[in-house]
Structure 1
Amino acid sequence: MSEIAAETNAARPRRRRVWLVAAPLAVGALAAVTVVAVPGRDHGDATPAAPTLSAWPATPTPSASTTPSSTPSMSSTPSTSSTPSTTPAPGPTDAADLLARAAKAAASSPDPRAGAAQFVYRKEIQDGARETKHERRSWFPVDGKSGGLILDPTMGNGRSPWPARLSDTVPGAPRTASFDAPTYEFVASLPTEPQQLLQQLLSFDRAKRVSGMTMTPKLYNQFAFADVQMIFQNIAAPPAVAGALMEAAAKIPGTAVVADETDAAGRHGVAVVGTNGTMRVALIFDRTTGAFLGVREVLLSDLPAASPDGLPPAGNPSPGAGDGKGYEYATAILTSTVVDKLEAEPAN
């Protein structure tokens, strides 16, 4: 954990513990940050133009609906799609069924077959955590052995290199990829059967992330959920693995499936919701294509108490929470694809 936290600070000065490559995990009074934090933002002024999604398992649209929404497809050449609807459409409200269908759609998306020397490119909106709504672009190496790059106007001079996760030249960098040092190649090697993947997520030894702290079953579950968040939010996953991850995440003890959540661009989707320290975290997916739309985080202090079964509280915070925005932090993935080199922009 300490290595990850140090890596995070080096990559993004002045940032809140949001998640760049994993999710910060504060347990009890201890704020244990799992992997890297991605810049959290304050809520911006202008609402961004409706985003164009391209490449990667597409993302969800309306609340609890089956109405197809345009979302990205995973391919090395991004494909432009029509503007997703921001208005929920009527339809079935069974959240579990919505997620199952979305996961199936994600798993059947085209596979970009990323090469070891390539980079996962992301363009997204980030909003909340006391920073203005803005656009962020990132390039993360598929094999984790070369450096990546983040272009973000809220970070220093707007450029932040991302240290290679498996490099021999980076002090303390692990030699083998794992949930502690994830890469796209590692994610691509994960089981595509949800129950097998769930077992692997829950059985991985994460004790070394926390110093002087007893790992309880609840903490293991929260770490597992945080690792799923890290993969979707920063690493990305091939279609078959993405579909399995969606279903496995919904089976992690302490998580729930919610039929309608909105991302930072106002798009509606089905979500797997868990708690991460002091936050209620929703991983939002397009209900038609299964594409990952983004993350929405709300302070638990702004929500009703958790139900007796321990599942994360449902509903939105009271008016005024998160500076009146209704959330503490949210993202919206506009483009997710594979490119050949740093700062390469996908073709329109």
Structure 2
Amino acid sequence: MNNSPELLPADRRRFLKEHLMSEIAAETNAPRPRRRLVWLVAAPLAVGALAAVTVVAAPEGGHGNAAPAGPASSAPTAAPSASSASSAAPAPEPTDPAGLLARAARAAASSPDPGARGTQFVYRRELQDGARETRHERRSWFAVDGRSGGLILDPTMDNGRSPWPATLSGVPGAPRTASFDSPTYEFVASLPTDPQQLLKQLLSFDRAKRVSGTPMTPKLYNQFAFADVQMIFQNVGAPPAVAGSLMEAAARIPGTSVVADEVDAAGRHGVAVVGTNGTMRVALVFDRTTGAFLGVREVLLSDLPPAGPDGLPPAGAPSPGAGGGKGFEYASAVLTSAVVDQLEAEPAN
């Protein structure tokens, strides 16, 4: 089992465990319990969900599983003549999903690095909508090195605030080990900036302790890898070079897909890496120009057109009335993301 601190209430831990067991039952052709699932990585105490949540990432119909194009070659070329330069047309902007994601990933990787120090905090102000909660803003502070407890301010939580997450060791300042099981910003900063190397690390990490007594199949490894990428983007944050690498690595996890247009909770459109989680279609949405992580959009598969004969998640529009008329079950939008010096500090404008 996972040795990280128990960060979820007992009922949420039990719900996650039941969801995991239903996914494993499906692997062995056992009947899956019919239940309406909600993606709990997006819940306030999200880090603990890594101990049990699974994600099934599957290609979108019509897009295939093509990996995003890599950066343009930096090999020197001969200088064009005056006549050829004047007649040369500018390179067309990409319109295909893989090209859009590749461009966004390069833009993310070239963004200014905040140079976060271990004693600082990753600050997030985001809009959340759905998951049986009213539309609201949430603010969070996540310790860069994991040695200090963080904080969430959320009006939907008891008392409107909660320590989050606990320190990795449970004792501030004590030795700790960060990993995909217990990620910190410092750990994420150490990940490869080459997408293929990062993909290998994501897929080879031993996650067997998350499912005690259950064999880890290749499909489950892929599910957990996608879940870990979502955890990083939604909660932990990543330095620019690693963020760009994570975007392309996520699109190369077997079973994921890239779609050209998805919408976050604030109505912003972006390119997305898409998969499924139990009964949910999950999209990680990125700005097409800057590569910034915009948020998550989740739709119940039952609210979407039927899957094709290949069993992949549908890409069509939700049915009328889906999500109580919202068209989604849960969506978020990152409004502000910054590195600050202390808890409850707001970034300078």
TM-score between the two structures when normalised by the length of structure 1:
0.76
Equivalent pairs, count: 290
Contact 1:339 1:346 in 2 (8 A): yes
For structure 1, the 5+ residue unaligned runs are: 41-90
The alpha carbon displacement at 1:92 in A equals: 4.8
- Tell me the C-alpha RMSD between the 2 structures: 3.0
Matched, 1:124 2:126: yes
The amino acid of 1:99's aligned partner reads L
Contact 2:142 2:165 in 1 (8 A): no
SS of the residue 1:334 aligns to: strand
Aligned runs of 1:288-327 on 2, under 5 Å? 288-327=289-328
Given the superposition, is the C-alpha separation of residues 137 and 5 from structure 1 closer, same or farther in structure 2, using an over 3 Å criterion? same
SS of the residue 2:7 aligns to: helix
Give me the whole-angstrom Cα distance separating, in 1, the residues matched to 2:269 and 2:41: 26
- Residue 8 of structure 1 is matched in structure 2 by 8
- Residue 162 of structure 2 is matched in structure 1 by 160
For structure 2, the 5+ residue unaligned runs are: 27-31, 46-92
Given the superposition, is the C-alpha separation of residues 5 and 226 from structure 1 closer, same or farther in structure 2, using an over 3 Å criterion? farther
Contact 1:25 1:277 in 2 (8 A): no
SS of the residue 2:344 aligns to: coil
SS of the residue 2:221 aligns to: helix
The amino acid of 2:213's aligned partner reads G
Give me the whole-angstrom Cα distance separating, in 1, the residues matched to 2:212 and 2:183: 20
Range with greater deviation from structure 2 (305-314 or 151-160)? 305-314
Given the superposition, is the C-alpha separation of residues 39 and 140 from structure 1 closer, same or farther in structure 2, using an over 3 Å criterion? closer
Contact 1:26 1:276 in 2 (8 A): no
Give me the whole-angstrom Cα distance separating, in 1, the residues matched to 2:262 and 2:15: 22
The amino acid of 1:120's aligned partner reads V
Pick the aligned partner of 1:139 from 138, 141, 144. 141
Give me the whole-angstrom Cα distance separating, in 1, the residues matched to 2:308 and 2:175: 40
- Residue 342 of structure 1 is matched in structure 2 by 343
Aligned runs of 1:247-266 on 2, under 5 Å? 247-266=248-267
Aligned runs of 1:199-238 on 2, under 5 Å? 199-238=200-239
The amino acid of 2:150's aligned partner reads G
SS of the residue 2:244 aligns to: helix
Given the superposition, is the C-alpha separation of residues 150 and 158 from structure 1 closer, same or farther in structure 2, using an over 3 Å criterion? same
Pick the aligned partner of 2:43 from 24, 33, 38. 38
- Residue 77 of structure 1 is matched in structure 2 by none
- Residue 78 of structure 1 is matched in structure 2 by none
Give me the whole-angstrom Cα distance separating, in 1, the residues matched to 2:20 and 2:241: 26
Which whole-Å deviations, capped at 9, do the CAs of 1:255-298 have from their partners, x for residues lacking one? 10000000000000000001122211100000000000000011
- Residue 87 of structure 2 is matched in structure 1 by none
Range with greater deviation from structure 2 (298-307 or 116-125)? 298-307
The amino acid of 1:248's aligned partner reads A
Which whole-Å deviations, capped at 9, do the CAs of 1:286-338 have from their partners, x for residues lacking one? 00000000000111222233344454321221111111111100000000010
- Residue 187 of structure 1 is matched in structure 2 by 188
Which whole-Å deviations, capped at 9, do the CAs of 1:201-222 have from their partners, x for residues lacking one? 0111111111232221111111
SS of the residue 1:281 aligns to: strand
TM-score between the two structures when normalised by the length of structure 2:
0.76
The alpha carbon displacement at 1:25 in A equals: 9.8
Q: Of the two, which has the highest radius of gyration?
A: 2
